[in-house]
Structure 1
Amino acid sequence: MTSLLVPLRVAHSLSGFQSRKILSHPLASSAMKPLQGMTAIVTGGTRGVGRGCAVELAAQGAHVYITGRTLHEGDSRWPGSLESAIAEAKALGGKIDGILCDHRDDEQVRALFDRVVAENSQLDLHVNNAFLIPDDIDPNAPFWESTLDCWDDMHEVGARSAYVATWNVAPIMIKQGKGLIANISSEGARYYTLHVAYCAAKSALDRTAQSCAHELRPHGVAVVTLWPNFVTTERMLALDAEEWNLELDGAESPRFSGRGLAGLLQDENIMTKSGRVYTTRQLAEEYGFLDLDGQMPVGAPDPGESESIFAPE
C-alpha cells in the first residue's frame, strides 16, 4: 500500500514571529519569511510535538510534509488529524501537505521520500517524531506487569522507524551536500521516565542520532536530538495529572520545539552542533525566542555533554 497525499494545499503569507538571533539572519532581514524556500518532513505530525513543529515551521515559511495515520478528526480516540493540522497551518499562512503513512511499513516510508524528492528540488530538514505510546500503558505499574507488546510498539514506531527514515533520507541529503536531521527524544533517554521500554527507545533515538552524525559529518549533513520538556499536547491535557505525575506549570506549547528547529535551520554553524542533544530551552536561550505566551518554559533537565563517541578527526 502506498502513501496517499491529502489534496489540500495552502499558500504562504508573512508571519509575525521571529526570534532575536533569527532577526539578524539574511533570510529574516528580507521581506519574506525566515524559512521561505525550504522543505521539511515531520513524521507523526497529526498531533502533539510533531504537529507543533510542522505548524511552526510552516508559519515561518517552510513547505512542510507531515505523516500520520489519522486523516479525519474522530478517526482516533485522540484529537488531531492530517486535515486539522493542514487547516491550522493554513490559518497562519503556512503550507503543509499531509501524507497517510504507517511507519511500520517500510514501503510506505520509501514512497513518502520518493514523493517529496519528486516534488521538490531539495530537502532541508527531516524530523523523526513518530513514536507510539500504547493507549493502555500504566504509568504506575512496573514493567513486568505490562505486556511485551509495550516494548515492541515503542521500538517499532520510535527507535526503528526513525532509523528507517534516516536510512532513506541520508542518500538524499548526501547528494545535496547538506541537510539537517532531528530526532525528537526526551529526558527519558537519560533519566527514568514513564516506563522501561520508553526509556530504552528514547535512549536508542539519542544514540542513533549521535552515531549517524559521525558518519554523515563528512557529507555536510547534521544530525541532532531535541528534548522537549512537559508539552501541552492533546494527549497530555487529556490525562489525569496526578495519576501521571505531570507538572504542567511552566510546560511548553507544541510549537516551541518548532521554533527551536527553525533556529537550527538558520544556524550557519550547524555542523558544530551535529551529534549533540539539546533541550528546547537551550535552543530558545541561544536563538532568542519565547513560547507562544511570551514566556520561557522551564525546560527539560540538562542532557550534559554529548560529545561524539569517536575520536575527532
Structure 2
Amino acid sequence: MKEPPPVAVVTGASRGAGRGIAIALGRHGCTVYVTGRSEKTGDHALPGTIGETAQAVTDAGGHGIAVRIDHADDAQVRALFMQVEQERGRLDILVNNACALHDDLTAPGDFWEKPIGIVDMLDVGLRSSYVASYYAASPMVARRHGLIIFTSASGAAHYSFGPAYGAHKAGVDKFAADMAVDLRPHGVAALSIWMGALLTDRLRMVIASDPVKYKDLEATTETPEFTGEAIWALYTDPALMDLSGQTVIGAEIGLRYGFADSNGRQPRSCRDTHQVAPRPQHPLILR
C-alpha cells in the first residue's frame, strides 16, 4: 500500500516565512494545514490570507487546508490538532512560525521608548510555540515519527531589535533543545532553524523606510521558500535523529544537502558573515 503524503501544520502562514515554508512543503506533495488569523484581504496591513496560501500549496502540488486560528487561544490550538487527527489520522511535521510582530519592532529607540506591545511576541511566538508542540507531540509519539521545527534567527545569540525579539529567538532554540530530550526515546525530532533575512513584504517595507541604510540588504536575502526546502531536507534525512535538539543555520543546511535558493543564490551563513553561531546545549540532564 502506498504511504499517504506527509501531513504538516505550518503556523502563522498567511504571509512571510510561514507562507513560503508551506508552499515549499506543498511542492513535495505534503498536505499542509495553514494557520493564521487573516481570512480576507484587509485583515492585516500586509497582503496575504490563509486561503491564498492554502491555494498556493495546492497549486504547488500538495493539498492546502486553511484553518483560522488565533494562536493566543489555547482552545483553538487544541481544536486544530484534533481536526488534523480526525481528518488525517497522523501528523508528520509541525512548523512553529506564528509570531506577533509589532510594526515598531525595527523603529529607532531603546526598548522602553517603543510600544510595550512589542513584548506580545513572548505570547504569540514563544508561548504559542510551546502550546502547539504540546498538542502535536502526542500523535507523533504514538506513531514514533515526526519533526517539530521552530523558526528562529541569529538574534538568539546577539542583540537584534531589542530584548523581546532576542528572548523569543533564544527561547525557541531552547525549546528545541529541551523538547528533543523528552522526544528522543519516542523517535520524534525537534530542531530550531536560523533563517537569514527573508525577502518578505514586511522586509520590503523596512527597506523602503530607509533605502540608504538598507541599500545592500536585498542582495543578501533568502526567499521564504528556502527555509521550507531546508525543513524538507531535514525531514527526509534518515539520520534526522542525530540532529535532533540542535539549532541549525538554514544556509548551512542548503550546503549540507546540496540545494540553492530558488533565485539561484546560495545563501551565506551568519557564521561566515558575522561570526555568529548557535549556542551548544550542555549535555547535563536533570530530572
**TM-score of the two chains, using structure 1 as the length reference:** 0.84
Corresponding residue of 1:292: 262
Aligned ranges 1:153-192 → 2 under 5 Å: 153-192=120-159
Corresponding residue of 1:269: 239
CA deviations over 1:79-119 (Å, ceiling 9, x no partner): 11112112322332321101000000000000000000111
Q: Does 1:204 align with 2:171?
A: yes
Structure 1 residue runs of 5 or longer lacking an equivalent are: 1-31
Corresponding residue of 1:231: 198
Corresponding residue of 2:98: 130
Candidates 13, 30, 41, aligned match of 1:45: 13
Shift of residue 308 of structure 1? 4.7
Choose between structure 1 and 2: higher helix proportion. 2
Aligned mates of 2:149, 2:282 — CA distance in 1: 16
Q: Does 1:279 align with 2:253?
A: no
Q: Does 1:303 align with 2:277?
A: yes
Aligned mates of 1:81, 1:305 — CA distance in 2: 35
Q: Does 1:74 align with 2:46?
A: no
SS of the aligned residue for 1:239 comes to helix
CA deviations over 1:247-281 (Å, ceiling 9, x no partner): 22121000000000110110101010011011111
Corresponding residue of 1:57: 25
Aligned mates of 1:45, 1:256 — CA distance in 2: 15
**Mean Cα deviation higher: 259-268 or 138-147:** 138-147
CA deviations over 1:34-88 (Å, ceiling 9, x no partner): x961110000011011110000001111111110100122321101111211232
Shift of residue 133 of structure 1? 1.1
Corresponding residue of 1:98: 66
Corresponding residue of 1:259: 229
CA deviations over 1:198-223 (Å, ceiling 9, x no partner): 10111111111111111111111100
Aligned mates of 2:225, 2:171 — CA distance in 1: 24
Instruction: Report how many residues are paired.
Output: 278
Shift of residue 124 of structure 1? 0.8
Corresponding letter in the other structure for 1:108: Q
Shift of residue 295 of structure 1? 1.5
Aligned mates of 1:50, 1:123 — CA distance in 2: 17
Shift of residue 120 of structure 1? 1.1
**2:104–2:115 CA contact under 8 A, matched in 1:** no
CA deviations over 1:10-43 (Å, ceiling 9, x no partner): xxxxxxxxxxxxxxxxxxxxxx9xx961110000
Aligned mates of 1:227, 1:304 — CA distance in 2: 8
Aligned mates of 1:123, 1:149 — CA distance in 2: 33
CA deviations over 1:186-238 (Å, ceiling 9, x no partner): 11111111121110111111111111111111111100000111000111112
Structure 2 residue runs of 5 or longer lacking an equivalent are: none
Q: Does 1:85 align with 2:53?
A: yes
**1:36–1:62 CA contact under 8 A, matched in 2:** no
Q: Aligned residues: percent identity? A: 35
Shift of residue 241 of structure 1? 5.3
CA deviations over 1:137-186 (Å, ceiling 9, x no partner): 353210111233321x1100111000111111111111111110000011
Shift of residue 307 of structure 1? 3.8
SS of the aligned residue for 2:265 comes to coil
SS of the aligned residue for 2:148 comes to strand
